[in-house]
Amino acid sequence: MPFNSPKSIFLIAILIFEIGSAIRGAALSSTTFILRRAIARLGSVGIMTGGVVVMVAVFPLKKRPLS
């Protein structure tokens, strides 16, 4: 799988989010919880921006809204 396609980047972001969420649930202290939550947040940011990138790749310019 090439890592330059929007689909692969989006799937990697989902994987990072899922891993971050799983290890966050196993945190034993508040410090590790915060650090693991940061990992999950990186994945969620990737999902949000990846969704926009996928929409840009799928929809032609004429079918996108103006604002």
Rg, C-alpha atoms of the chain: 15
DSSP 61: G
Q: Are 39 and 23 in contact (CB under 8 A)?
A: yes
pTM over 0.85: no
Query: For the segment 5-64, what is each residue's pLDDT rounded down to a tens digit?
Result: 888 888 888 999 999 889 888 888 999 899 989 989 999 998 998 888 888 888 888 887
Instruction: Tell me the C-alpha distance between 9 and 16, whole Å.
Output: 11
